[in-house]
Amino acid sequence: MVDVQDKQFETKCVRGGYDPGVGEPVVPPITPSVAYRYETTEQVHELFDLEREGYFYSRIENPTTSVVEKRVAMLDGGVGALMTSSGQAANLFAILNIASNGDHIVAARNLYGGTVNLFTHRLKEYGISTTFIDNSSDYDAVVAAIKPNTKAVFTETLSNPTLSMTDLEVWAKAAHDNDVLFVVDNTFPTPFFCRPIDFGADVVTYSSTKYLDGHALEVSGMIVDSGKFGFENAYRNSGRYSSLVEPDQTYKGVSYTKKFGEAAYIVKARVQLMRDLGATPSPFSAFLLGNGLQTLGLRMERHYSNAQAVAKFLENNPQVEHVNFPALDTDPNNALAKKYLPKGCAGVLSFVVKGGRESAGRVINAFKLVNIEVNVAEIRSCALHPATSTHRQMSDTELKDAGIEPGLIRLSVGLENIDDILEDVKRALEE
Ligand code: PLP
């Protein structure tokens, strides 16, 4: 038996969450079972009262899914994780776990378009309102947006698609000084390049569809709980988070904070939200995600070095107005990148071509090796025109606010040989 909790990142990627005994398979098996056998009804009662740990129905927990949940929690330095059926569901659950009708959240304006949609329209329909602020906002601006009914402050480590950054420690302090939970979507850097919990994030979310899997084989999400947020303190100070502290009548009056301590948030997300809303991933998706995670460190290093080469080429190209890639010395986020992403940022960059919307379309159409793909952060290089795809629902003003210019191209640099990638990008720009 090998305990990898204190080992290095790559070791956790390969071995975390699964420790086979003698004669057991080295590859975590896929367990497609919906249910699990018990011997007495009393045992089942205990499960339903949260008095007994154990698998009982795969909507809530499954052995294959547990392996990747433990692995990602370990990589991020959290006390636990919950895998969801998509990244959208992860962000939805991260908020619904602490906010309900009448509540409010503060979010960065330039988030992934799907998250902006979710917060602006769907959450509003459920009675949760959002104040959007710039992700460059300082302490005072974050505090000014927080209201008595604010339950979360939300941002992305690296925004999709503009690759701009938030000063995580400043936002964490502004949230915590006001007894508010700080949630960070860390999809692009992955825990290889940044562990937001180390900088004050209370909850970290992922579209694990992206780099964590990395091969574009399945859609899934992940919520990681730092276990550090003081829900009971916040409840005492400001009445927030009663649903974590006060009895849940659907579990015979259990108080999550009293019974589960530092794991209160993630246990509640699983046994309450997953039970009732059911955004459950399939064990096969969990198996594929686990396979992808094994090479996360290796892949991220190469994605990043390939993207660096492309960013440097684009920066000096006369057809290009500017490049968004925080690792470039000339990028306005470079100082933040040095602090929060010292080893590198990701394989995704975006750039604005001269000639606006039409030129951007022509460049993308001229790519041969680079796929046109409604995806990002996978082994194949792929490109997309955000203004007419992922952010299509936004008005011109919203696009401008989110920093998405008509000529912006998002390029996700893959793991093909860098000479082949550069040749394709050069040729497309020349054409
Ligand atoms: N968060 C970010 C930063 C994303 O880029 C995406 C999707 O692109 C999502 C969340 C949503 O994830 P999914 O597509 O897995 O539902």
- CATH number of 329's domain: 3.90.1150.10
Please check whether residue 4 lies inside any domain of the structure. no
Residue 398's pLDDT is: 78
| 35-39, 200-204, 374-378, 403-407, range with the lowest pLDDT | 403-407
Residue 393's pLDDT is: 74
258 and 127 in one domain? yes
Residue 360's pLDDT is: 93
303 and 266 in one domain? no
Query: For the purposes of burial, counting CB atoms within 10 Å of the CB of 228, is it exposed (0-12), middle (13-18) or buried (19 or more)?
Result: middle
Residue 23's pLDDT is: 97
- Ramachandran bin of 77, using left for φ above 0, alpha for ψ from -120 to 50, beta for the remaining angles: left
Query: What interhelical angle do 283-293 and 63-76 show, nearest 10?
Result: 40
**What is each CA distance from 77 to 113, 180, 231, in whole angstroms?**
28, 20, 19
Instruction: Average the pLDDT over 91-95 and give the result.
Output: 98
Residue where a domain terminates, one of 291, 312, 337: 291
Provide the pLDDT confidence category of residue 1 given band limits of 50, 70 and 90: low
Separation of 217 CA from ligand 1 center, angstroms? Answer: 14
237 and 321 in one domain? no
For 13, the domain range is 9-291
Separation of 412 CA from ligand 1 center, angstroms? Answer: 14
Query: For the purposes of burial, counting CB atoms within 10 Å of the CB of 10, is it exposed (0-12), middle (13-18) or buried (19 or more)?
Result: middle
**Ligand 1 pocket, 187 CB below 6 A?**
yes
DSSP secondary structure letters along 17-38: T----TTS-SSPPP---SB---
Separation of 11 CA from ligand 1 center, angstroms? Answer: 26
Kindly tell me if the per-residue pLDDT of 394 is higher than 80.
no
Instruction: Average the pLDDT over 193-203 and give the result.
Output: 98
310 and 248 in one domain? no
Cα 310 to chain centroid distance, Å, stands at 25
Residue 390's pLDDT is: 79
Give the total residue count for the chain: 431
Cα 169 to chain centroid distance, Å, stands at 18
More confident residue, 284 or 394: 284
pLDDT tens figures, 217-264: 999 999 999 999 999 999 999 999 999 999 999 999 999 999 999 999
160 and 258 in one domain? yes
Query: What interhelical angle do 356-366 and 418-430 show, nearest 10?
Result: 130
Separation of 207 CA from ligand 1 center, angstroms? Answer: 5
**Ligand 1 pocket, 88 CB below 6 A?**
yes
**Ligand 1 pocket, 221 CB below 6 A?**
yes
Residue 87's pLDDT is: 98
Please check whether residue 209 lies inside any domain of the structure. yes
Starting at the edge strand found earlier in the chain, the sheet holding 371-372 runs 320-324, 348-353, 408-412, 382-384, 371-372
Kindly state the DSSP code that residue 82 receives in the 8-state scheme.
Answer: E
Instruction: Average the pLDDT over 284-307 and give the result.
Output: 98
Provide the pLDDT confidence category of residue 167 given band limits of 50, 70 and 90: very high
pLDDT tens figures, 337-391: 999 999 999 999 999 999 988 999 999 999 999 999 999 999 999 999 988 887 7
Which of 86, 88, 391 has the most ligand 1 atoms within 8 A of CB, as the residue to mutate?
A: 88
Please check whether residue 415 lies inside any domain of the structure. yes
308 and 271 in one domain? no
**Helix or strand (DSSP H, E) at 104:** strand 104-108
Kindly tell me if the per-residue pLDDT of 395 is higher than 80.
no
Q: Is the peptide bond before 161 cis (omega within 30 degrees of 0)?
A: yes
Instruction: Calculate the average pLDDT of the chain.
Output: 96
254 and 320 in one domain? no
Residue whose Cα lies nearest atom 6 of ligand 1: it is 207
- Ligand 1 atom with the shortest distance to the CA of 88: 16
Kindly state the DSSP code that residue 199 receives in the 8-state scheme.
Answer: G
- CATH number of 69's domain: 3.40.640.10
More confident residue, 151 or 402: 151
Please check whether residue 2 lies inside any domain of the structure. no
Residue 404's pLDDT is: 86
Helix, strand, coil percent values for the chain (each to nearest 5): 45, 15, 40
Residue where a domain terminates, one of 291, 318, 337: 291
Separation of 205 CA from ligand 1 center, angstroms? Answer: 10
Kindly tell me if the per-residue pLDDT of 402 is higher than 90.
no
Separation of 112 CA from ligand 1 center, angstroms? Answer: 7
**What is each CA distance from 229 to 175, 183, 212, in whole angstroms?**
11, 11, 25
- Ligand 1 atom with the shortest distance to the CA of 209: 15
Which of 209, 211, 213, 215 has the most ligand 1 atoms within 8 A of CB, as the residue to mutate?
A: 209
Residue whose Cα lies nearest atom 13 of ligand 1: it is 87
To the question of pTM greater than 0.75 for the whole model, the response is: yes
91 and 236 in one domain? yes
218 and 129 in one domain? yes
Q: Considering Cα of 98, then 99, then 104, then 107, what sign does the dihedral take?
A: positive
303 and 253 in one domain? no
Work out how many domains the chain is built from and give that number: 2
Please check whether residue 1 lies inside any domain of the structure. no
- Give the amino acid at 410: R
